[in-house]
Structure 1
């Protein structure tokens, strides 16, 4: 009896324990399931956030690659800022018929040359890239497709450091952006998975001159309009307007019989603009004599009857050294066949010419110690509208550097001209025809860059490898970036 009662009680006890145990196990399973679901949701959110951030970074990288490609195609624009109130910058970049700024003139020259040097459609392609760079300065987003975008916050070029600093933002969304002009911080509040980042990169802008500007001597002839195809020969590099199909005639180049350079001299097009002329000194404040017209034989620097120099020399720094230079402002030089201007060997003389030159000029260093061809420099300033001319005559030796951006240049008679002549075009000047087959200008042992009173070597920009890359908050104020 007692055993039956005990067994009955034990059976009822087990029934009472099973229910709470089942509830407990169910509760544990439910909590475990909820935990796993929450973890999965957290992981999913993390993955979404990571993908969004990766998307915005990819947008920045693609945008950066695009801007680099554009600047490599139009390298001169790597040497100006993206924005400005006046002057040259991306926002003012435009190819126009009558350019008014240095950048516009440079861009027009590049576009004019593009169809001759390659595919005729390349002019339109180059224009499109110039326009795209201008649009990038407008502070708006550009569509990369797949709901990804980029914009240029700014590009700043420093002449002193030779570096360009590009600030750029990337944006990734799950839905398409509706307003590409909206750059506000909270612009993507409608998209919880949107991601936006900002990168700042430093790009070295290197100077990579072609061979003609990498020699120690100045190119023999550089003309901005036309070609030197009147029968004259040049013992030196000739830089002229591009000839289709980018095949400038080489028969105008005469190979030197001695001291031939390696690589040899060539005739070709270069896509850079003339540098600025040195400013004409003020004769009143500087004491530099204004001679007006020269119409008879004279020797410079001028001397008295006893042979003493009566002119006062200016002091200039040339090639890192303080030297004496005799400077003169001249209106026109117009000499008869029996007259000539003579430069005393060993003396540095600079003429600032405001009109035309027609006559014989002699500067022959010979064996004079310290005398160099660049000791005589002639800078000419008449505007293109005046159709100015320089005609070198006579049978004497002229060693000199002539820079006359808007002038027609020519040389007649049998005299030797050693040095360089830069101008608008080489002839034709009536009565100043080059002797067919004769050497008009010789660059060998000519004027060296270091002899000029001002650095006139143009820059040939080339983008280097990115020197610095960093991220910064998208709300960083202008001028407050901590990225170097």
Structure 2
């Protein structure tokens, strides 16, 4: 009997120990499952926050605490007006509260942002790129107490033009009226409705229709104008009311200057000082295809005779081979005829430009970045003709837009952090 009782007690103790261990293992498995599930939720929340920052890239150089109050973080993308501002403020105000990973199914878990901070590589410019963004996100399942936290660091690089479509026409204000633009139209003027721009055609690089959109990028600054004695000039009295000469540039004795394009290529450019240009009705000014010519324009160009730069069928001839930089005051104009297309790039921040409406096959083939567009009086640009055809290329320019949004690089470090429910 004592032996039987002893065996029974031993078996009872072993069974109790096994049950206890099983219960511990079950609890550990459940805990590990909860940790894994909440970690998955945190990863999902992290992806959501990354996507938001990537779509509003200028906020990436500001701490989360500034997103709802710092005005410079509000204009962050191709949108304009209050919608983008509202989205950023709403996100910033809700970021630190638990949110459903799937708005239609709370059982999939919730996430919240612990914080986002930014450290610039240049301490004197705290909100400039490059730098490092640090993002911490927590995740949890709503029916469990486990909370997991992920902390990642993200390199933020200075902005570039990758993925930014080049505009056929970029206006700091105003609209194009009846004129059609075969290219993207970009404006900085939020008061102008996008429907007031007449775009037509399809962008061959994306197979998407050309469109008009707002931008927070700013027109590039004009390059420093070289001293007059470093520039070529047109012949004395080249064009006047009685002169119907046809002038071809560059001329035999003109000298070229070495310039660097956005793609790093060094090129030879014939640069000219132009105070104003009034070509008589029967005269013309021809830019030799395949050469590079830049006008430093201090006055206006008035329509009359033709400016000719036609790259059709000419190797290594691009619209940006012929550049006009306009330095004149507000009210200056660049008015062109409507009977021939000119392969050209125009940067004239204070200028009004347009194409005479009498011709149906003329205007700018390339891109023009100006203050506004003449819709009638002045340049007479008042018909439904296609007046600008977008054909230019970022790489072949020598200027760069300002306020490019920073680039959001892949995560460089990833750490799991302790968190409390």
Q: TM-score, length-normalised on structure 1? A: 0.58
Equivalent residues of 1:59, 1:144 under 8 A apart: no
Larger Rg: 1 or 2?
1
Matching residue of 2:112: 150
Does residue 185 of structure 2 align to residue 227 of structure 1?
A: no
Change (3 A) 1:452 1:64: same
Equivalent residues of 2:171, 2:369 under 8 A apart: yes
Matching residue of 1:196: 148
Does residue 307 of structure 2 align to residue 362 of structure 1?
A: yes
Does residue 404 of structure 2 align to residue 425 of structure 1?
A: no
- Alpha-carbon distance in structure 2 between the residues aligned to 1:65 and 1:317: 37
> How far did 1:220 drift?
4.0
Structure 2: segments with no counterpart, 5+ residues: 101-105, 121-129, 241-246
> How far did 1:434 drift?
1.7
Change (3 A) 1:387 1:265: farther
- The answer to which structure has the higher helix fraction is 1
Matching residue of 2:220: 277
- Alpha-carbon distance in structure 2 between the residues aligned to 1:283 and 1:198: 54
Provide the aligned length of Structure 1 versus Structure 2: 383
Structure 1: segments with no counterpart, 5+ residues: 1-17, 85-89, 113-122, 177-192, 476-484
Does residue 292 of structure 2 align to residue 313 of structure 1?
A: no
Change (3 A) 1:318 1:60: closer
- Alpha-carbon distance in structure 2 between the residues aligned to 1:240 and 1:343: 29
Aligned with 2:42 (options 38, 41, 60):
60
Matching residue of 2:103: none
> How far did 1:165 drift?
7.8
Aligned with 1:351 (options 274, 295, 306):
295
User: Map of 1:307-456 to 2, 5 A cutoff?
Assistant: 307-309=252-254, 311-317=255-261, 321-328=265-272, 333=276, 335=278, 342=285, 344-346=287-289, 347-353=291-297, 357-358=301-302, 362-365=307-310, 371-380=317-326, 387-393=330-336, 397=340, 398-405=342-349, 407-412=351-356, 416-419=362-365, 420-428=367-375, 430-434=377-381, 436-443=383-390, 447-454=392-399
Does residue 185 of structure 2 align to residue 239 of structure 1?
A: yes
User: Map of 1:157-236 to 2, 5 A cutoff?
Assistant: 167-172=135-140, 194-198=146-150, 200=152, 209=163, 213=165, 220-230=168-178, 232-234=179-181, 236=182
> How far did 1:209 drift?
4.8
Equivalent residues of 1:373, 1:418 under 8 A apart: no
> How far did 1:60 drift?
0.4
Matching residue of 2:125: none
Deviations 1:80-125 (A, max 9, x none): 62536xxxxx6655699xx6x5x64445x6143xxxxxxxxxx65x
- Alpha-carbon distance in structure 2 between the residues aligned to 1:253 and 1:95: 39
> How far did 1:25 drift?
3.5
- The answer to which structure has the higher strand fraction is 2
Deviations 1:268-297 (A, max 9, x none): 22354445425523636x985499xx9974
Matching residue of 1:481: none
Q: How large is the RMSD of aligned CA atoms in angstroms?
A: 5.5
2:99 match: secondary structure: strand
